[in-house]
Amino acid sequence: MALSPLQPAEERSKAVIPTPEPSLTYRLDPERGTIGGFIDGDEALRQFIIKAIQTARFRYLIYDEQYGSELEDLIGAGGTEELLNEEIPRLIREALIYDDRIADVRDFSIRRESDHVYVEFTVVKTAGGILTEEVEI
């Protein structure tokens, strides 16, 4: 018997499989301006996606510097269409990728209809599977 604090190599090399954090949260109804009930799983992730994109980054003290997007600044700046096509995907990806439930954000499609911009994209979840979302900016 060795009196060493070191573990044998086979015990040190065991992989730790992270368990996903629960995503239970309040259900928000932006049309009515109410909060009621709870949601979890894909529904909670979809709510996070929409809320993070629609919340201006650095504006609200309740959120840290990672939460929200800078899309409001871009849309109001009146940049060229090429600039918007490059920056919108980058800003949406930056708003979402820090969440531990999201592995990747890709396959962007941007559509303009009069004064509205619609963005469709795919979210790859860390737990496996994908979500396709469309948001209006």
CATH of the domain at 102: 3.10.450.40
Examine residue 15 and state whether it is found in any structural domain, yes or no: no
| pTM for this model (two decimals) | 0.78
End-to-end CA distance of the chain: 66
Counting the structural domains of the chain, the total is 1
DSSP per residue over 76-90, as a string?
HTT--HHHHHHHHHH
Q: Which domain holds residue 113?
A: 22-136
137 residues of the chain, pLDDT tens digit each:
556 666 666 665 566 666 656 689 999 998 898 999 999 999 999 999 999 999 988 888 898 888 999 888 787 666 778 888 899 999 999 999 999 999 999 999 999 888 888 999 999 999 999 999 999 88
What is the model's pLDDT at position 16?
62
Instruction: Tell me if 46 sits within 8 A of 131, measured CB to CB.
Output: yes
* Six-digit token string for 75: 């849309």
* Six-digit token string for 43: 């529904």
How far is Cα 114 from Cα 81, in angstroms, rounded to an integer?
14
Examine residue 37 and state whether it is found in any structural domain, yes or no: yes
Examine residue 4 and state whether it is found in any structural domain, yes or no: no
> In sequence order, what are the beta bridge partners of 110?
119
Place of tokens 């190599």: 9
Torsions phi, psi of 109, nearest 5? -135, 120
Examine residue 5 and state whether it is found in any structural domain, yes or no: no
What is the model's pLDDT at position 84?
85
Examine residue 78 and state whether it is found in any structural domain, yes or no: yes
Examine residue 2 and state whether it is found in any structural domain, yes or no: no
